[in-house]
């Protein structure tokens, strides 16, 4: 029997394969949603990690991603990886771009987060499920 983490890894592998096979488009839960594949470097392992996630286009080549972990009480592992290694790449559509990650704060965070919750109400549900402030990560072109 698979562990919850193992099931998540299997789900992520399937989403990644579908994303790459269809030029950045997937069906199911993510159908029609803006999705990217974030490549981070493991904080402890130093190994590349690839995580599918929704993003918000901020204009000027920058995008925002959200460390929601579906409202879990802890941040996702990829968020810790960014603190150790903020230089990342992301597959968006059929292309790959380089970024430098930073956590948004104050009014910038609130503006981006409010738009994400308005456009995708599941994010408001994630926020309601947790006591932590869900980080909003801005990926700026490198």
For residue 2, what pLDDT is reported?
42
* Mean predicted confidence (pLDDT) in 30-52: 95
**Nearest 5°: CA angle at 80, between 129 and 70?**
20
* Mean predicted confidence (pLDDT) in 83-105: 97
Identify the CATH number of the domain in which residue 16 sits: 2.30.110.10
**Phi/psi at 85 (nearest 5 deg)?**
-140, 85
For residue 5, what pLDDT is reported?
59
- Using only C-alpha atoms, the chain has a radius of gyration, in whole angstroms, of 14
The three-class DSSP label of residue 15 is helix
For residue 117, what pLDDT is reported?
98
Task: Identify which has the larger pLDDT, 8 or 106.
Answer: 106
Instruction: Identify the CA nearest to 53 among candidates 95, 92, 110.
Output: 92
Burial class (CB in 10 A: 0-12, 13-18, 19+), 3: exposed
When the pLDDT of each residue in the chain is averaged and rounded to a whole number, the result is: 94
CA distance 137 to 6: 25
Tens-place pLDDT, residues 73-93: 999 999 999 999 999 999 999
Residue 95 has pLDDT above 80, yes or no: yes
Whole-Å CA distances, 82 to 4, 18, 49, 75, 125: 23, 25, 11, 12, 25
Distance of alpha carbon 60 from the chain centroid? 19
For residue 140, what pLDDT is reported?
98
Tell me the residue range of the domain where 45 lies: 4-141
Tally of domains in the chain: 1
């Amino acid at each position: 029997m698979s562990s919850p983490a193992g099931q998540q890894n299997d789900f992520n592998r399937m989403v990644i394969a579908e994303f790459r096979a269809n030029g950045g488009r997937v069906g199911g839960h993510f159908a029609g949603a803006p999705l990217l594949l974030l490549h981070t470097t493991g904080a402890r392992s130093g190994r590349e990690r690839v995580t599918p996630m929704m993003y918000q286009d901020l204009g000027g080549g920058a995008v925002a991603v959200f460390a929601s972990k579906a409202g879990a009480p802890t941040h996702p592992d990829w968020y810790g990886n960014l603190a150790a290694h903020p230089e990342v790449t992301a597959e968006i559509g059929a292309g790959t771009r380089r970024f430098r990650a930073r956590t948004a704060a104050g009014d910038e965070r609130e503006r981006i987060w409010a738009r994400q919750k308005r456009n995708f109400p599941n994010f408001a549900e994630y926020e309601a499920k947790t006591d932590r402030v869900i980080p909003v990560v801005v990926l700026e072109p490198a």
